[in-house]
Copies of this chain bind each other. A is one copy, B any other.
Amino acid sequence: MSTANDTPAEALDLDALKKQFADFLREKMYRNTQERYRILDRIAELDRHFSADELYVYMNNAGDKASRATIYSTLDLLNKCGILVKHRFQGESAHFELANRMPHHDHLMCNECGRIIEFREPALDEIARQICEANGLKPVEHSFQIFAVCNDTLNCEFNK
């Protein structure tokens, strides 16, 4: 519950992200507000998938008050400038994560226990590229979602 550790960042270069964000804000004539940078800080701390509301709760628990409106707005900016990617898993609310947390990865989800497993599959990049080329489009990003069930659903250790 304590959040004394203010500089987690292992492979994660938070300063580079802040610079990227600052560049984006300057270019688009948005302002450098404390809230925007604090939100980015907390996201880096989290270092996992999160929904807007999870971030809101996390920040308010950590003492960094931020309104939902500001969080949604900032998440959108971070998404637009490529720092965050936004996922929509099945029936759920939107989930975000740092784009550079794992170079390129997709998601395997268990319909039974709800856990989300990340994986890398470089072949998907090439498939996406070819399909775009065949249709006269330029690829921006892709999302491969696999829905599955545990081999042994009764004994799944993740099932609630």
Which of B89, B90, B121, B137 meets A108, CB within 8 Å?
Answer: B137
Q: A88-B90, A131-B119 are in contact. Are A149 and B145 (CB under 8 A)?
A: no
Residues of B within 8 A of A146 (CB): 128, 131-132, 139, 141-142
Contact of A132 with B144 in the complex, beta carbons under 8 Å: no
Residues of B within 8 A of A142 (CB): 144-147
Interface size on A, residues (CB 8 A): 36
When each residue 123-160 of chain A gets 1 if its CB lies under 8 Å from chain B and 0 otherwise, what string results? 11001100110111111111111111111000000000
A62 to B45, CA, bound (A): 54
Contact of B148 with A138 in the complex, beta carbons under 8 Å: yes
A142 to B106, CA, bound (A): 11
Q: A88-B88, A90-B88, A119-B131 are in contact. Are A124 and B144 (CB under 8 A)?
A: yes
- Is A110 at the interface (CB under 8 A from chain B)? yes
Residues of B within 8 A of A94 (CB): 91
A61 to B128, CA, bound (A): 39
Contact of A138 with B149 in the complex, beta carbons under 8 Å: yes
- Is A102 at the interface (CB under 8 A from chain B)? no
17 contacts between A and B (CB under 8 A): A88-B89, A88-B91, A108-B131, A108-B132, A110-B137, A119-B134, A121-B131, A124-B127, A124-B144, A136-B150, A137-B151, A138-B148, A138-B149, A138-B151, A142-B145, A143-B144, A145-B145
Report, nearest first, the 10 A-B pairs whose CB atoms are least far apart. Answer: A137-B148, A142-B146, A140-B147, A143-B145, A128-B146, A144-B144, A88-B88, A132-B148, A139-B148, A141-B147
